[in-house]
Amino acid sequence: MLGDRTVARFRTSARYEQNDPKKEGINLAFSGAFARAAGNLAEVQEFRRLLEKGTLAPRDAGAPMPAVTDMSAAPFKMPRIPLSRQSIERTVGQVLSAVATIRIGGGHGSGFLIGHAGYLLTNQHVVGSAEKVQVVFANGLEVTGAVLRRDPMNDVALVQIPVRARSILPIRSDMVGRLEEVYAVGSPMDEALQATVSKGVVSALRIDPSTGIRRIQADVPISAGNSGGPLLDKFGNVVGITASHVVHERAQNLNFFIPIQDALKALRIELQSTKTSMRK
């Protein structure tokens, strides 16, 4: 039997500016602000726990992540590019050129290039159910991207843009360790803050016992809009994807990231040592 009852209360807010005068400007501003507020709510860890009906357990993530993507789908195959051995301070320009803002409706998130054929990774909660999204780079380039694959359970999505990418981020195959230095890149809060870089350390590795889903916990400062952006090691290699943060008056920098290995597995993306073209 169905019934209405309150299981939790959350408060979220957002702002949206409609700069171009339009007849329906008030409605656009309202819907834009509502969409951004809903996006902020999707990043609240307690809210996501209610949806997943599970709680992150404070123990090491040693168990493998269950793959929940349709395993009948053929894997995407792409060449594995060499890891960076230079400090991120020296390669930050190339890193920033590979990170983009993902815009949908009145809200936005972040994403990053992983393949020269225009493939980006982001969060599923950033793209939602959309088939097309706007992808905006720091140099001003704005293109329409197609959502190719998505996995709601692991909160990851694969997007392709119709532009060959010159800068892509190398992907690290091993898991980060506790106290390792990491960097988050994205567009926190407002698109005008695109290409923001923040720094921290890995606090712990967590696993949800009810789903087997792993998360990297780190104290890297993130905000709404960072979702889908890369978590990088000190050389600028991808180790994770920004997923969520705890919003509470007594919480400070309790942030969670999807291990890049788990994201690739969920989306059926295979990195190969030999050069090959990506295919569905």
Q: Residue 155 catalytic?
A: yes
Q: Which of 110, 125, 233, 244 is catalytic?
A: 125
Q: Which of 155, 233, 244, 245 is catalytic?
A: 155
DSSP bridge partners of 198: 184
Q: Residue 125 catalytic?
A: yes
CA 197-133-81 angle, to 5 degrees, is 55
Q: Are 178 and 204 in contact (CB under 8 A)?
A: yes
Cα–Cα dist 160/227, whole Å: 18
Tens of pLDDT along the chain (280 residues) come to 334 445 566 666 666 555 555 544 554 555 556 555 655 665 566 665 655 554 443 444 444 434 345 555 788 899 999 999 999 999 999 999 999 999 998 899 999 999 999 999 999 999 999 999 999 999 999 999 999 999 999 999 999 999 999 899 999 999 999 999 999 999 999 999 999 999 999 999 999 888 899 999 999 999 999 999 999 999 999 999 999 988 767 767 789 999 999 999 999 999 988 544 444 4
**By C-alpha distance, which of 122, 153, 148, 162 is closest to 280?**
148
Give the number of other Cβ atoms within 10 Å of residue 116's Cβ.
Answer: 16
Cα–Cα dist 110/191, whole Å: 10
Q: Which of 110, 223, 227, 244 is catalytic?
A: 227
CA 41-47-52 angle, to 5 degrees, is 130
Q: What does pTM read for this prediction? A: 0.74
Tokens in use for 263? 């994201």
Q: Residue 129 catalytic?
A: no
